[in-house]
Chains A and B, each alone.
Chain A
Amino acid sequence: MAVKEKTIVDLFGSLKLVDRSQLEYLDESPTDDQKKSKNNGDLKSQVKSVNDNNQDNKNTENNINIDKDDDEDIDILSSINTASEKITYNPIDQKIIEYLNLLSKLYDLTLEIDKSSSMGFINLARANYVNFGGISKRYSQLYWDMRDREPKYIVVMNLTQEKQVNFLIKEKETPIDNVESIGLDDKLTEQHNLNESNLRKRNVANLNQSKKVETETDDGNSDESPFHKEPIQEETIKKNEKTKKMKKKIDKSNGINMFGGALAAYPLKQSQKFFIEEFKLLIELANLRTSIENLAIEISKLRLEENSKRNGNSLSFENDKVNIKKGNYNNDNSNKNAFIKKNETNSIELDK
């Protein structure tokens, strides 16, 4: 049974793969040549004989060399890799292969982004229904907390060795001013804040006098009596110490605090998770796109060079401009040169 071959991309036509499932059929219905080699248990010769029968395969470098032990399974992927190393590509073809790989990654990423964003919107709709019970009210701009705030996530741009911009997500450190504290008893917290503030304390003398009066009137063992009344300041200080432990510091930069914080509906918190996921995927998408655009520019440069060689011209690249020295430039305004603009002085600018 002849082995069917598949082409990866129709653009190239030189690189071919052997289908693994078809290879297994070799053992079931071998040809005469294959029968002989099967007796020897040599799969390598089987593949060679199949390739010899194949009329399309002219390039001998594309033959896959498989070394097989009797008991081991064939690792076709490793054999393909070794085969690909032997194949020599044009520089343009190599770039185009990279370009197509990046495009497939881009496609997969966009599918993931679509999924996470749709889950985020579904949970947002649930939150609107749960919180407001209808279509009239929802988590709209009227609901947002529009006080000053800093973002939780910022982007840091790095320049790689290939002069490519790379985006990185960084969680911004929240400054002290941005942190809000909530105590159990707001009145006590206000007193506590006043005590700590730099305001001049008034009526301190009166309070101290009242302390003295109370201590004088009390009997001995005043601390042990159940009806002992401590001075007001000590009471407040003790309570404030308790509230300190119970205080929760709220991070204003957290997005959920724009929608009520702890009081926000549970589906809203679920949607927040999906939107954070989507945001991180979007940053990856940005990195992918910059690499795709840079590759496209390189491919267009290489094509220019090829075209110029055919026409007998010489090219030089200076600061995103291409200068042509000799020969008649091919005034082909085809779509292949989409990244190139023409100038009147016969120099061409590369469009980024």
Chain B
Amino acid sequence: MAEEAKKRTLIAVIGDEDTVTGMLLAGVGQISNDATESYKQKNFIVVDSKTTDDDLAKAFDNYTTKRDDIAIILINQHLAERIRFKVENFTAAFPAVLEIPSKDHPYDPEKDSVLRRVKRLFGE
């Protein structure tokens, strides 16, 4: 587990254009055009109106299971809602999945998966 943890250093971003722009400005982006597989070339994906739920789910799977160098996944909350079944059923320790607000969709604690578990714990 310690060896796995050492490999995982990157932060992946699944979000709309402005969110990804912001995270790239922060210095999180990694691009390697030499990589043979498409999901290894970049650690960010821009989701727009043309992106389907299947594409979203595939991207989530790529960053969680196929890539072994990602420590944290940042995903917009409204996009996580579209693939809620995937996000809830993902129970592995790494990578950590964080739901972040976007420009058009501010943070809603009722939709957060961690806080939903809190409610269940207290019997609501």
Contact = CB atoms under 8 A, between A and B. Distances in A.
Interface of A: 99, 103, 106-107, 110, 113-114, 117-118, 120-121, 124, 139-141, 144, 146-159, 165, 167, 253-256, 258-259, 268, 271-272, 275-276, 278-279, 282-283, 285-286, 289-290, 292-293, 296, 299-300, 334-336, 338-339, 351-352
A172 to B, nearest CB: 8
Given A286-B98, A339-B121, A148 B9 contact: no
Contacts of B27: 151-153, 253-255, 276, 279
B83 interface: no
Contact of A148 (B25, B32, B94, B107): B32
B117 A338 contact: yes
21 contacts: A106-B114, A113-B100, A113-B101, A114-B107, A120-B22, A124-B22, A139-B21, A148-B32, A148-B34, A151-B30, A152-B28, A155-B10, A155-B71, A156-B9, A165-B96, A255-B29, A256-B25, A271-B22, A286-B72, A289-B114, A336-B122
- In this complex, the member of A155, A271, A276 whose beta carbon has the largest number of chain B beta carbons within 10 angstroms is A155
Contacts of B71: 155, 157, 167
B109 A110 contact: yes
Contact of A144 (B24, B74, B91, B101): B24
A292 B117 CA distance: 10
B80 interface: no
Contacts of B109: 107, 110
Given A139-B21, A153-B26, A279-B26, A352 B93 contact: yes
Interface of chain B, helix or strand or loop or mixed? Answer: mixed
A182 to B, nearest CB: 20
A256 B25 CA distance: 6
Contacts of B25: 255-256, 258-259, 268, 271-272, 275-276
Contacts of A276: 25-27
Interface residues of B, number: 50
Given A335-B123, A336-B121, A352-B93, 4 more contacts: A155-B8, A268-B25, A276-B25, A286-B98
B114 A148 contact: no
Contact of A124 (B18, B93, B94, B123): B18
A165 B38 CA distance: 30
Contacts of A268: 25
B79 to A, nearest CB: 15
- In this complex, the member of B5, B10, B25, B33 whose beta carbon has the largest number of chain A beta carbons within 10 angstroms is B25
- In this complex, the member of A167, A286, A300, A352 whose beta carbon has the largest number of chain B beta carbons within 10 angstroms is A286
B21 A299 contact: no
A329 to B, nearest CB: 19
Interface in B39-67: 43, 46
B5 A165 contact: yes
Nearest to A285: B98
Contacts of A140: 17, 21
